[in-house]
């Protein structure tokens, strides 16, 4: 039987990527505990313990978002950009300035 390939698809952009694991403790990355449950890909170019976070779920609306700066923000939790905009005033000033600099 062929193993089913797992694929992550961002709900905000066209980003698509296979992933090896979903959760916060990738078994192939030694002693790594992520701050969130995320879609993780084994880094094929590094022999051991390296991983790439391809995406996660927004902690507010639960949609799948990639880790790209245009789609999500990680501030103690993952937020998709539409939710960041909705709750803009609840973020600390440094994050607000950071977002304004990007001029979206």
Interacting residues with Zn ion (CB under 5 A): 10, 12-13, 15, 58, 60-61, 66, 68, 71, 80, 83
**Cβ 30 to Zn ion, closest distance in Å?**
28
* Shortest Å distance, C-beta 67 to Zn ion: 8
- Nearer to Zn ion by Cβ, of 27 and 69: the residue is 69
Closest distance of CB 88 from Zn ion, Å: 13
Beta carbon nearer to Zn ion, 9 or 97? 9
For the record, the structure tokens of 78 come out as 């993952």
Give backbone dihedrals phi and psi of 102, rounded to 5 degrees, phi first: -70, -25
CB of 81 to Zn ion, least distance (A): 8
What DSSP assignment string belongs to 26-90?
-TTSTT---SS-EEEEE-TTSSSS-EEEEEEE-TTT--EEESSTTTEEEESEEEEHHHHHHTGGG
Nearer residue to Zn ion within complex by CB, 22 or 28: 22
How far, in Å, CA of 87 to CA of 17, rounded? 28
């Amino acid at each position: 039987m062929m193993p089913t390939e797992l694929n992550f698809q961002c709900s905000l952009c066209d980003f698509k990527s296979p992933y090896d694991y979903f959760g916060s403790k990738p078994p192939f990355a030694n002693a790594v505990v992520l701050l969130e449950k995320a879609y993780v890909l084994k880094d094929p170019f590094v022999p051991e313990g390296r991983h790439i976070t391809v995406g996660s779920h927004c902690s507010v609306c639960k949609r799948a978002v990639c880790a790209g700066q245009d789609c999500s923000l990680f501030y103690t939790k993952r937020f998709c950009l539409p939710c960041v905009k909705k709750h803009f005033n609840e973020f600390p000033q440094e994050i607000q300035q950071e977002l304004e600099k990007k001029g979206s």
